[in-house]
């Protein structure tokens, strides 16, 4: 009988994934990572629900204390980024460093099981011609989570199954109800686990970063208002600036060193290109020449056509590894340093990385 370890958060998606695999004849072992204290699907209540699912399915359930690695890899990562004036994307970092990597390692070394599965909405295929595993968008475009998985390695893709990649969220809830899972009607998490646990991202950050009043200025340095912490803002932000102006203003730079928030009109908030660091080529090997692709610069943004240009990496490994330049066919609003840029060929995720900070336009 095939054995597989299923990562269980206590939500309906991971529960349904476990039930589907169990129904297909897999010998399922549930695994829940304890990421932090407090409420939230990944924490105490999630562990209770995950344990109940395993009890109902009649399968073993393991809990691994991952709070230390979560603190170092995610909490500290977020605090450092916001303190420096960038807006980090924790989910992709968490998927590779905290979840998939450690789960597969635990499955293989502690349980002697070669495969893991999660409730993510994405698909994995194998291309025999190139000898590479490919990461594809999920069938359900509204739930596709491939954007957050761009940093997975070939080894992680080889050892992972996504049972929900071929079905919709509606079908997932129907399956969960048919199996009588207690999570079938559980509300979906609407935000980051840290936000869910702390009430807001602002509240989370204020636990670690002391508010510091400073100036909100225009590009020429003219003071337009006051802020109570650069970490409360993000590039492209338009609402909540507290500034009266004849036209909408956007955050165009976060000057952490000078404790200034720089704002400008829409023309200053759009850019035609950006550079991306820490690039991971997923479904294809790193190209030597520019390629055309459809690029997403945010999870909920529509993919837009762009040229992906590999940059020289000599001497740059210590500064973030492989880099590319993205040149968009049309200028894009709110290209945010710290967020992920991910590029596709249709449904196939080619690669992705972290958007670097650009210099303020002259």
* 179-230 residue pLDDT tens: 999 999 888 776 677 777 777 888 889 999 998 999 999 999 999 999 999 9
Give the whole-angstrom CA distance, residue 29 versus residue 16.
Answer: 14
- Integer Cα distance of 182 and 97 in angstroms: 30
Q: What is the arithmetic mean of pLDDT over 313-329? A: 72
DSSP 244: -
Q: CB-side exposure of 173: number of CA atoms within 13 Å?
A: 6
Question: What DSSP element (H or E) covers 51?
Answer: helix 44-57
Q: What is the DSSP string of 121-151?
A: SEEEEEETTTTEEEEEE-S-TTT--GGGGTT
The pLDDT of 45-68, averaged and rounded, is 93
Considering only residues 91 and 104, tell me which one the structure prediction assigns the higher pLDDT. Answer: 104
Q: Output Rg (C-alpha) for the chain, integer angstroms.
A: 22
For the segment 323-338, the average pLDDT, to the nearest whole number, is 96
Predicted confidence at residue 318, as pLDDT, reads: 41
**What confidence score (pLDDT) does residue 325 get?**
97
Q: Which two tokens stand for residue 308?
A: 């992906």
Residue 360, pLDDT score: 47
Q: Taking residues 141-166, what's their average pLDDT?
A: 97
- What is the reported pLDDT for 37? 63
Instruction: Quote the pLDDT of residue 358.
Output: 67
Q: Per residue in 168-178, pLDDT tens?
A: 999 999 999 99
Least confident of 35-39, 147-151, 333-337: 35-39
CA 149 centroid distance within chain: 7
Give the per-residue pLDDT at 357: 81
Average pLDDT, the chain: 91
Determine the pLDDT at residue 1.
62
Instruction: State the Cα–Cα distance between residues 14 and 20, nearest whole angstrom.
Output: 10
17, 61, 104, 154, 257 from 111: Cα distances, Å: 20, 12, 10, 21, 48
- Look up residue 168 and give its two tokens: 């919709």
- Name the E strands within the chain: 3-7, 27-34, 61-65, 116-117, 122-127, 132-137, 160-161, 214-217, 223-227, 250-255, 260-264, 270-281, 291-296, 304-310, 324-333, 340-345, 348-355
Render pLDDT for 246-265 as a digit per residue (tens, 0 to 9). 899 999 999 999 999 999 99
- Distances in whole angstroms, Cα of residue 153 to Cα of each of 20, 56, 149, 218, 344: 25, 33, 9, 42, 16
pLDDT of residue 192: 73
Predicted local confidence at residue 321, as pLDDT: 62
Is 47 exposed, middle or buried, given 0-12, 13-18 or 19+ CB atoms closer than 10 A? Answer: buried
| Residue 82 banded pLDDT, cuts 50, 70, 90 | very high
Catalytic residues: 94, 193
**Percentage above 70 pLDDT, the chain:** 93
């Amino acid at each position: 009988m095939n054995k597989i370890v299923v990562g269980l958060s206590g939500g309906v998606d991971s529960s349904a994934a476990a039930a589907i695999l169990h129904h297909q004849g897999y010998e399922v072992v549930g695994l829940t990572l304890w990421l932090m204290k407090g409420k939230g699907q990944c924490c105490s209540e999630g562990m209770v629900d995950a344990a109940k699912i395993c009890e109902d399915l009649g399968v073993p359930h393991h809990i691994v204390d991952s709070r230390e690695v979560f603190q170092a890899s995610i909490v500290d990562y977020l605090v450092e980024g916001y303190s420096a004036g960038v807006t980090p994307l924790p989910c992709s970092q968490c998927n590779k460093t905290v979840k998939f990597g450690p789960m597969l390692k635990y499955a293989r070394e502690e349980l002697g099981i070669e495969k893991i599965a999660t409730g993510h909405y994405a698909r994995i295929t194998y291309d025999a011609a190139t000898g590479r595993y490919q990461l594809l968008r999920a069938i359900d475009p509204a739930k596709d989570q491939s954007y957050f998985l761009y940093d997975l390695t070939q080894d992680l893709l080889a050892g992972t199954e996504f049972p929900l990649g071929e079905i919709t969220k509606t079908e997932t809830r129907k399956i969960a109800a048919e199996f009588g899972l207690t999570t079938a009607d559980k509300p979906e998490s609407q935000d980051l686990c840290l936000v869910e646990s702390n009430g807001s991202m602002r509240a989370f950050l204020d636990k670690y970063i002391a508010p510091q009043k400073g100036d909100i200025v225009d590009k020429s340095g003219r003071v337009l208002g006051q802020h109570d912490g650069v970490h409360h803002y993000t590039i492209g932000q338009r609402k909540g600036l507290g500034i009266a102006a004849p036209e909408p203003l956007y955050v165009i730079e976060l000057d952490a060193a000078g404790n200034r928030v720089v704002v400008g009109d829409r023309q200053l908030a759009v850019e035609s290109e950006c550079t991306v660091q820490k690039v991971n080529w997923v479904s294809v090997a790193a190209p030597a020449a520019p390629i055309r692709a459809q690029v997403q610069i945010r999870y909920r943004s529509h993919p837009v056509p762009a040229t992906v240009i590999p940059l020289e990496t000599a001497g740059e490994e210590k500064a973030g590894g492989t880099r590319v330049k993205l040149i968009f066919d049309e200028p894009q609003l709110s290209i945010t340093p710290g967020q992920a840029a991910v590029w596709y060929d249709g449904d196939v995720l080619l690669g992705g990385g972290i958007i670097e900070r650009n210099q303020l336009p002259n």
